[in-house]
Structure 1
Amino acid sequence: MSDNSYRYAPETAVVRAFVDPELATQAISPSMVMSVNHCFDPQQGAFSAQGLEDLSEAPYLYAGWSNPTVDQLEQRLAHLEGAEACLATATGMAAISGLFLSLLKHGDHLIISDVCYAGVYEFATQVLPDYGVEVTAVDTSDITQVLNALQKNTKLVHIETPSNPLLTLTDIRSLANGLKTSGTLLSVDATFSTPVITKPLSFGADIVVHSLTKFINGHGDVLGGAILGSRSLLNQIRSRAGVYLGATLSAQSAWLIMRGMETLYPRMKTLCSSAHEIANWLEKQPRVLRVLYPGLASHHQFALAQQQMALFGGIIAFQVDDIDLIQQRFAQESHVFYYAFSIGHQRSLAVAMKTDELDQSTYHFTAEKRAAFRSFAGDGVIRLSIGLEATEDLLRELEHLLR
């Protein structure tokens, strides 16, 4: 890659950075290196990474350690996010578990959001305590609650912004500033926002996590995850999660993710515009009780969204007067929205997320937290992941389903 590419606009850099024609063939599309094994010179001490400042500089030996195609993805993601280094993983949960198990040990304390992706919450609250890690879940949209929960042994605060599924925000800059004196690290799951909308490192976060399965790949056909941050932190995480936890991303998956991420900016601009129009329309519908979308003036953190988000995202959550009926209609009558979990695909998805079911399966709310959740979600929300279909087709379908 030429030095000029570092001065490209993000829309250009995501397509051009770290992509050069192949020397032997002058092919423009990146090649896929499928080999599991690589020859090496034993005189160069390839069996040991001791002395390397960055483990990604170690010679290629075995694909479980590193792979040229995966390395290229990591370089491109780091450039896109404004990070020094990146570790790509087999799934988004592999990124989360690799992060937690690399940075936390017996006797440490973790703070997480009390409303976040179910797999993250369950891993943190049900698995980590078995290894002696203390976990506290708080409303991270309230910085005071986070700071009040700090302990001498708090090593990491992990947040989602926007959160899943309530689309609440955390003021990243304020929280990062509040954590400075404690020495506590701040990691941000920015899967919902992507680097197009928010770059957490620029607001003071130490670590960014993505499920590459979602918007960054954008086509619903491959799993992947990523952890990004400083070289020193990523070297620590890579030496554990990248070697011992078996979270290796395959070359095929890395190649597919790179192909998908090249259209990230136009995809996000299109679906965010559509989502904004749909969210405004939903607020006017008689069966809709409340719309949760950061781009609406009715969102209680709209001012923060304007400061922290370049766009307002492709995810909408909304309450309805009869969630069972509307869930049934989405599942049985929809032709444009697929009734399915996950987000960030080129096709629009919808799923009902019922409060009682989330409580019983994942969150196990206290009475106070159940009341706080219900104040946003009521009996539950319909979560929409807006795709690339024409907005008028999505609105026509919603009008039918919400009749």
Structure 2
Amino acid sequence: MKIETQSIHVGLPAARPGEPVLSPLVPASSFYAHPDAGFSANDLSDAAPHFYTRWSNPTLAALEARLAALDGGEAALAFASGMSAVTGLFLNRLKAGDHLLLSNVCYAGVAEFAHDALPRLGISATAVDSSDLAKVAAAIRPETRLVHIETPANPVLRLSDISAIAGIAHAAGAELSVDSTMATPVATRPLDLGADFVVHSLTKYACGHGDALGGAVIGPAAAIADLRKTSLIHLGAALSPFAAWLILRGLETLPIRMKAHEDNARAVTAFLETHPRVRRVYWPGAASHPQHELAVRQMRNFSGMVSFVPDDGPALARQFADRLKTVAYAVSLGKTRGLLFYIPTGDLIASSFRLEGEDAAAYRDIAGDGVFRLSVGIENADDIIADLAQALG
């Protein structure tokens, strides 16, 4: 099946009279057990029936089957949030004495977890500009076990070459995980490019409606089964069945929504690139993006994320918050409605990314004193542009 069909049909009940035509919501927390069933997660086998929803649930199983199909993976595992999916993967694949190499521009919570929490467990972490393959190769250590990249990267939409980095990681005996939240499987399937795992915040484009939190890891069946036993069951970050059901509903329109997001982002980028209060605009689909050639090679859809550097960020942020009507001045991304938020560069460099020297200067060259991260919605493009124009003044 093509992706438009997979996004609707994978995980549905069998086509028999009396069966629902949609994946049912099963809110039960526990299920009838076999008298010989064990009480420990260590007894869990791949063929085990549903037992307790922290372990598995029919609605979550339908979501996981669909996610695996969309990303071309053997299996998927749903978590309560994108953050829990990333941290669960890190804690499963890394142990004391191991080394993590990650993008030095990525979701702030992931950067903070790598810098603050992992060292307390005896796991070292190095952040590197993953758009520079030479720097990635130079930062690999004998004890590197996992390379984690985010592409496009939050918030400046820097890209990383998944195929090339997979080759570097595998040559060193390490695995590669890719946070592909902003791209979605409509744009990029990292597993096809050599990655071992792909991570999504399902809260964003996958759900698409801003009404559910969720995360997922997709990869080899054996590794995902182990991830279920350790990071999901023992850490407890289980996705609720209702949230899973909402995300399943959202996935049905994902390919159509991503086309609309991309079309609107193209129009909004063209508008912003000519506005006198905007210094620079970043959108992978624009010829002006410094990595546009890689975007064309690696992405079948350029997504709806646009970042731009203003002439006066703090003042313009207040102006946007006061004046915007169609676009919401709010965090998050990937919703049907447009969302915009200002991210000061100094805050990220100091508190989240911990960039110094050359890396800090390089980020400032891209982001200036701060960037507006604009998640372009699927409203009429003319209405979005008119709202931005009146708010810019």
User: Shorter-chain TM-score: which interval?
Assistant: over 0.9
1:204-353 aligned within 5 A: 204-353=194-343
Match of 1:65, SS? coil
Counterpart mapping for 1:72-87 below 5 A: 72-87=62-77
**1:56 Cα shift?**
4.4
Q: State the secondary structure of the residue aligned to 2:146.
A: strand
Q: Aligned ranges for residues 352-363 of structure 1 at < 5 Å?
A: 352-363=342-353
Q: Alpha-carbon deviation of 1:64? A: 1.3
**Counterpart pick for 1:15 among 8, 25, 33:** 8
Deviation at 1:178, TM superposition (A): 1.9
How far apart, CA to CA, are the structure 2 residues paired with 1:68 and 1:46? 20
Inter-partner Cα distance in structure 1 for 2:376 and 2:241: 29
> For the residues of structure 1 that align with 2:226 and 2:10, how far apart are their CA atoms?
26
| 214-223 or 360-369, which deviates more | 360-369
Structure 2 residue 365 is matched with structure 1 residue 365: no
**Aligned residues of 2:42 and 2:229 also touching (Cα < 8 A):** no
Deviations 1:143-178 (A, max 9, x none): 111111111110000000000001010000111122
Identity of aligned residues (%): 45
1:112 aligns with 2:74: no
The aligned amino acid for 1:297 is A
Query: SS of the counterpart of 2:232?
Result: coil
Amino acid at match of 1:376: I
State the shift of 1:380 in Å: 0.6
1:248-303 CA distances to partner (integer Å, 9 max, x unpaired)?
A: 11111111110111010111100111001111221111111111111111111110
Q: Any idea what the Cα deviations from partners look like across 1:334-389, whole Å, max 9, x if unmatched?
A: 00111111000111000001111222331232132221111000011111001111
SS in 2 for 1:228: strand
- Note the alpha carbon deviations across 1:314-338, whole angstroms, 9 max, x for none: 1000011111221111111100111
Distance in 1 between residues matched to 2:114 and 2:212, nearest whole Å: 25
2:186 pairs with 1:196: yes
Question: Residue type of the partner of 1:368?
Answer: E
CA separation in 2, counterparts of 1:197 and 1:66?
29
5+ residue gaps, structure 2, are none
Amino acid at match of 2:138: N
Contact 2:196/2:220 (8 A) holds in 1:
yes
Mark the CA change 1:145 to 1:47 in structure 2 (over 3 Å): closer, same or farther. same
Aligned residue identity for 1:121: A
Identify the residue that residue 26 of structure 2 maps to in structure 1. Answer: 33
Q: Which moved more, 1:218-227 or 1:13-22?
A: 13-22
Instruction: Pick which of 378-387 and 31-40 moved more.
Output: 31-40
Question: Could you tell me how far apart the structure 2 residues matched to 1:224 and 1:11 are?
Answer: 21
SS at match of 1:61: coil
Aligned equivalents of 1:228, 1:189: Cα separation in 2: 11
Give the letter for the 2:332 counterpart.
S
Letter in 2 for 1:29: L
Asked whether the equivalents of residues 11 and 61 of structure 2 are also in contact (C-alpha less than 8 Å), the reply is: no
Matched, 1:147 2:140: no
Conservation of the 8 A alpha-carbon contact between 2:11 and 2:23: no
Q: Which residue of 1 aligns with 2:127?
A: 137
Query: Residue type of the partner of 1:278?
Result: V
Partner of 2:59: 69
Q: How big is each residue's C-alpha offset from its partner over 1:170-198, in whole Å with a ceiling of 9 and x where there is no partner?
A: 00011112222211000000000000000
The one-letter amino acid of 2:78's match is A
TM-score by length of 2: 0.97
Deviation, 1:48, is 6.0
Asked whether 1:392 is paired with 2:388, we answer: no
Poorly superposed stretches of 4+, deviation over 3 Å: 20-24, 45-52
Output the CA distance in 1 between the equivalents of 2:9 and 2:56. 23
TM-score by length of 1: 0.94
In structure 1, the gaps of 5 or more residues are 1-7
* Partner Cα distance (1:119, 1:78) in 2: 25
